[in-house]
Amino acid sequence: MYGPGDVRIEEREEPRIVEPTDAIIRLAATCICGSDLWPYRGLDAWDWPVAMGHEYMGIVEEVGTDVSNVKPGQFVIGSFFASDNTCEIAAPATRLPASSVNVWAGAQAEYLRVPLADGTLVEMPGIPDDDLVPSLLAASDVLGTGWFGAVAAQAAPGKTVAVVGDGAVGLLGILSAKQVGAERIIAMSRHASRQQLARGYGATDIVEERGDEGVELIKKLTDGLGAHSVMEAVGTQESMMQAIRATRPGGRVAYVGVAHGVELPGHELFFSHTHLHGGPAPVRGYLPKLIDLIWNRQIDPGKVFDLELPLDEAAEGNKAMDERRAIKVLLRP
Ligand SMILES: [Zn+2]
């Protein structure tokens, strides 16, 4: 990306092993993230140009001398942060080591260098059937992030979970809440096609209104109390306040949308009596479970990819997502 609205496809040098803990993978599929729209819309000031892409799956081509778990020829998937899996707070953890290694950029490509390959990459049970590719790719970020939303929301049997945001993360937050047994799932969405997908993933109610009106409707659906928890999957002031206000006292707000310009009013928060838990999802820790669910065809998160393009047409893919013509775009190198 050379600047807002300016995506170009160009030949770059092939990545090579730099650290002995690196692996090089040849991508089978990659995609455009909703979070790419922040810079695309000029809402993130970056040092242009930036190599885009942080969601990936593919075949290991080469590994560094210190890599022992990952071998050439394996089909692997990883998440958007490199993980050394030594963090004592959350293991296996999302953790950025002191050096500037990350997987944050450059995955919209044919090849990718993955740092800390032993901790970051998870091997699949075999060569995936082609129809499983979108779902496995979704696990790389949006499904893992939606799953974290359900975990942070403490979605469980007997609980009502509302979801603010009908992008890929919100929709897969619904899928995740359903998987962990939430009784009632309220999707906040104004788009017919996304509502349909939300229902397919387990939403029991749809609220089209936003802001105060949306909050009132959620209270109406929950005996005037508010939802046990609300997943916030957008990252704006409006969506965050909608989530806090739609949550009952003692309930939980799980915020997984990348916050942009969100300012929390302390006084209102004080009296809201809500728990707030969010941030970048520790996707790596969920990958083995998510791969298993997908491999055994128990979940189908790949449906969020409603447009598939060759990598060469990444510019059109960004445009389609920006104009909300597509929920999420899969790119085939
Ligand atoms: Zn992403």
Tens digit of each residue's pLDDT (9 = 90 or more) over 43-67: 888 889 999 999 999 999 999 999 9
- Residues 157 and 229 occupy one common structural domain: yes
Give residue 158 CA to ligand 1 midpoint distance, Å.
Answer: 31
- Residues 153 and 271 occupy one common structural domain: yes
- Residues 180 and 101 occupy one common structural domain: no
- Residues 273 and 168 occupy one common structural domain: yes
Report the number of distinct structural domains present in the chain: 2
Give residue 329 CA to ligand 1 midpoint distance, Å.
Answer: 11
Range of the domain at 48: 23-141+282-332
Q: Classify residue 7: in a domain, yes or no.
A: no
- Residues 74 and 113 occupy one common structural domain: yes
- Residues 83 and 69 occupy one common structural domain: yes
Confidence grade of residue 90 (pLDDT, cut at 50, 70, 90): low
Tens digit of each residue's pLDDT (9 = 90 or more) over 228-285: 999 999 999 999 999 999 999 999 999 999 899 999 999 999 999 999 999 989 898 8
- Residues 134 and 118 occupy one common structural domain: yes
Tens digit of each residue's pLDDT (9 = 90 or more) over 195-222: 999 999 999 999 999 999 999 999 999 9
- Cis ω before 333 (30° cut-off from 0): no
CA 46 to the chain's CA centroid? 21
Q: How far apart are the first and last CA of the chain?
A: 17
Return the structure tokens found at 318. 């960004």
CATH number at residue 299: 3.90.180.10
Give residue 31 CA to ligand 1 midpoint distance, Å.
Answer: 8
Give residue 80 CA to ligand 1 midpoint distance, Å.
Answer: 7
Give residue 39 CA to ligand 1 midpoint distance, Å.
Answer: 13
- The C-alpha atoms of residue 115 and residue 157 are separated, in whole angstroms, by 39
Return the structure tokens found at 192. 């017919």
Give residue 78 CA to ligand 1 midpoint distance, Å.
Answer: 12
Pairing verdict, β 160-164 and 184-188: parallel
Strand, helix or coil for residue 201:
helix
- Residues 268 and 153 occupy one common structural domain: yes
Q: Classify residue 170: in a domain, yes or no.
A: yes
C-alpha closest to that of 140 among 121, 119, 125, 116? 121
